[in-house]
Chains A and B, each alone.
Chain A
Amino acid sequence: MSATTPAALPTARAATTADRTAAQLWRTLRMPVAVLLLVLLGGLLLAAVGGGRPDGYLDPRAPGPAGSRAVAEILRDQGVVVDLVRTSATMSARARPGDTMLVALPDLLSDSQVRAVGDSGADLVLAGPAAPERFAPALVAAGPTDSGVRAPGCPLPAARRAGPADAGGRSYSVDTGTQEQTRDLGVVQCYAHDGLASLVQLRSARGALVTAVGNPAVLSNQRLAEEGNAALALGMLGRSPHLVWYLPSADDVPARDQRSLYDLLPDGVVWGLVQLCVAVLLLALWRARRLGPVVTEPLPVVVHATETVQGRARLYRRSGARDKAAAALRAASLQRLVPALGLQRRSEPATVADAVSARTTRTSADVLVLLYGAAPADDAALVGLADDLDELEREVRRP
């Protein structure tokens, strides 16, 4: 074998890798990650601050500021049975003509639910409806007014007993120009401001009382103790011994009223999406069409010349062939040592050992063991043997 300088070969992997390190990756990604976090945090913050109705809104079990546990408890103390219902089916089963029913979220009810509420025959108290005409056709919304404490200014007994109370919010008026012109509706408009009443009571076609409360805050725990709110609330809700508190739950939608997202989308969106698919298809066709086929390359086989040597090394190692490995290392050392010592190629071991010990400080016996001894007992001994042979060669070559 010819001698070569190992330094000329790649001994360690050069820094040519195109992969990015973790630090580089972080430097690239930190801005997008920061923006994403900011957006998420901002969204959460907005949802927490401005999101919808507070928990327990007009819920007779809720003790929070928006809840209505206080008025429900007072009503119970006064012997009124407060019956909380969450679905329209239970509502229809419980409510009877002559009962009072508080519809806590009238705008969330579907048309069929509104019909069921009317069909129950109970007197209705609507908490701030935006479209009261669904419950009584003559009753229409008249726009928002400022919230505030006002005097009743009407003959409604409950309002008169209560005196000034929270009013405002939504306001209502009665459209007397409809088909029910002839009938006496028994309209009472209270807490008016600039001619807009925020509490209106009238009698429906079926004879049940319908009361629209423009400012449902009078029923809330927070405002109940203020002014005449409590008296007004009790007066409205406590007229009959059985109060049905209809607080529709989120899934309280009759099956036939449920509509899929698709029904709710406008046609323009649906057909626009179809057209968008066409556009995407055309763009895909544009990008997919290659300018001529891919050209293949007949590649040569890559066989590294050192593979057989490395394969043999692995075989030595797996079978623990320390004897063979040591013999090869010793033979290679001898092959270099013997010419350096000026000996014949096939010299006796004793001759070689004597010649080596004459050049070095080692004894002849030591050299004999090193160059011709038994196979090493374990891998550590083999590693030591290789180092010893190197050292011996250096000593012999040293002038």
Chain B
Amino acid sequence: MALTGRAGLLALAGTLVVGLLLPSGWAVLGLLAALLALVVTDVLLAGPVRHLLLTRAGDTSVRLGESATVTLTVGNPARRRVRGSLRDAWPPSAGAAATRHPLDVPAGEWRRVQTVLRPTRRGDRPAHRVTVRSLGPLGIAARQGSHEVPWRVRVLPPFHSRRHLPSKLARLRQLDGRSAVMVRGQGSEFDSLRQYVGGDDVRSIDWRATARAAEVMVRTWRPERDRRILLVLDTGRTSAARVGDAPRLDAAMDAALLLAALAARAGDQVALLAYDRRVRARVEGESATTLLPALVQAMAPLEATLVETDYSGMVATILSRAGHRSLVVLLSALDPAPVEEGLLPVLAPLVRRHQLLLATVGDPGVAVLAAGRGHAEAVYDAAAAARAGLDRRRVGERLERHGVQIVDAPPERLPPALADRYLALKAAGRL
């Protein structure tokens, strides 16, 4: 039950009656009783809320930064009209434009209510409750009740680094030999024989085939295909730290998505593993067309947890996969303590079987601190930042001695840097 402003206004008008015409306690009681009777009548005559039929339809996933529309259908099976207001409640980060809607459903009819969501954060956004307030015919009081109408909008990672994809694909095509001259070398495999045309490199003439075919034949080459790439997202505490405005994990996801899109075009098999102390998400065996949707769906609900990553468990999980040699891209932080105490001791079996690439999100804020000069506080900050930089470099060098590739870049530069390193590895045939 709920009152409206009219009940208060009526009582306020009663003040004049009591004050000027009937100054007594009985008048107050009488007015109260009359008002109560009106309220009870109004509530009894209001359309019932409990029996409303509510269903939802609309978008179930949306890229961060875009808007989704969820439609709520309200059916009124009762014999009385339901008139009033409706609130479709969502968590604040779902970014619902307007959650309160006027509602007027005649008996036996349906009405649609649309809520436009513009989420402000990645992850799953569940709808809360739908609350309906049904006014009585006098508009003095209303029935109010809530319905649970479950719905979930999955907010996908924004994949800002998409804009880098065309240039990286152009580089990939160069490797592929589709648009540029192709020479045999590391990282390429025999593709086919075809007739010599003017301009082909004479070094690629296959004399044995030429002898058989009575025409000059050349061999063509293409980059190695069907290599395996495993993207490993570290969702431990180091990924929770914020660089700029977003956690490291978000920047890591962006880089992973660009790399996955590129590798899928290059014909490589891409898999994803998210791990802190247990497997948080896993994507395997997707074809090139279904890979990206599967990846963003898997990444969307991931949040960094405030636990120390269990690197030995992570390595064991990676090794338990099929034994093919893979490029393992670990997206993690290059903080000295976790790497030296967690990763380095368990690194040996991993680098023996796979090529490990550590992609880490650098913090531009540290560079700003390192440039601080002028007064004691700034210089101490600069010294601490310099020490942090030296530590990172030392740890990076220790990893590189184990044959680990390191990509260290600030959030906005990490995706292209990682893609470039992948292309370089591919060109060098080290996948």
| Interface residues of A, Cβ cutoff 8 Å to B | 1-4, 6, 8-9, 11, 266-272, 274-276, 278-280, 282-283, 285-286, 289, 291-293, 295-298, 300-310, 312-314, 316-317, 324-326, 328-329, 331-332, 335, 379-380, 382-383, 386-387, 390
Contact = CB atoms under 8 A, between A and B. Distances in A.
Contacts of A305: 241-243, 248, 363, 365-366
Interface stretch (B73-81, B179-187, B192-200, B370-378): B370-378
Contacts of A303: 237, 240-242
A326 B384 CA distance: 10
Given A268-B23, A275-B15, A286-B7, 8 more contacts: A2-B367, A269-B19, A279-B12, A297-B91, A313-B380, A313-B384, A317-B376, A383-B373
Nearest to A379: B376
Interface in B378-427: 379-390, 392-393, 408-410, 413
Contact of B384 (A266, A310, A386, A387): A310
Interface in B1-44: 2-5, 7-9, 11-12, 14-20, 22-25, 27-28, 31-32, 35
Q: B131, B387, B413: which has the most chain A beta carbons within 10 Å?
A: B387
A9 B380 contact: no
27 contacts: A1-B392, A4-B368, A9-B365, A268-B18, A268-B20, A270-B23, A271-B18, A271-B23, A271-B27, A272-B20, A275-B28, A285-B8, A291-B100, A292-B131, A292-B146, A293-B129, A295-B91, A297-B93, A300-B247, A302-B242, A303-B240, A305-B243, A309-B369, A309-B388, A310-B381, A332-B370, A386-B379
Contacts of A326: 383
Interface of B: 2-5, 7-9, 11-12, 14-20, 22-25, 27-28, 31-32, 35, 85, 87, 89-93, 100, 121, 128-131, 133, 144, 146, 237, 240-243, 247-248, 303-304, 306, 362-371, 373-377, 379-390, 392-393, 408-410, 413
Contacts of B371: 6
A304 B241 contact: yes
A296 B243 CA distance: 26
A4 B367 contact: yes
Nearest to B32: A278
Contacts of B19: 268-269, 271-272, 275
A324 B388 CA distance: 12
Q: Which 9 pairs from chain A and chain B are nearest by CB?
A: A272-B19, A292-B131, A283-B8, A325-B383, A279-B11, A332-B386, A313-B384, A268-B23, A1-B389
A77 to B, nearest CB: 58
Contact of A310 (B14, B362, B369, B392): B369
Contacts of B24: 267, 271
B11 to A, nearest CB: 4
A317 B89 CA distance: 50
B380 A317 contact: yes
Given A2-B410, A4-B367, A303-B242, A390 B8 contact: no
B367 A1 contact: yes
A11 B240 CA distance: 24
A297 B95 CA distance: 12
B11 A275 contact: yes
Contacts of A335: 390, 393
A212 to B, nearest CB: 38
A2 B382 contact: no
A241 B144 CA distance: 87
Given A2-B362, A271-B18, A328 B387 contact: yes
Given A271-B24, A291-B100, A390-B373, A278 B14 contact: yes
A4 B410 contact: yes
Contact of A304 (B11, B128, B242): B242
A297 B247 CA distance: 18
Given A286-B5, A291-B87, A278 B392 contact: no
A1 B241 CA distance: 17
Contacts of B364: 4, 6, 8-9
A382 B374 CA distance: 10
A331 B23 CA distance: 91
A293 B22 CA distance: 41
Nearest to B6: A286
A276 B31 CA distance: 12
Nearest to B397: A345
A306 B131 contact: no
A106 B13 CA distance: 43
A313 B385 CA distance: 8
Contacts of B379: 325, 329, 379, 382-383, 386
A8 B18 CA distance: 70
Contacts of B409: 2
A298 B123 CA distance: 11
Nearest to B407: A2
Contact of A316 (B12, B14, B28, B384): B384
Contacts of A270: 23
B370 A9 contact: no
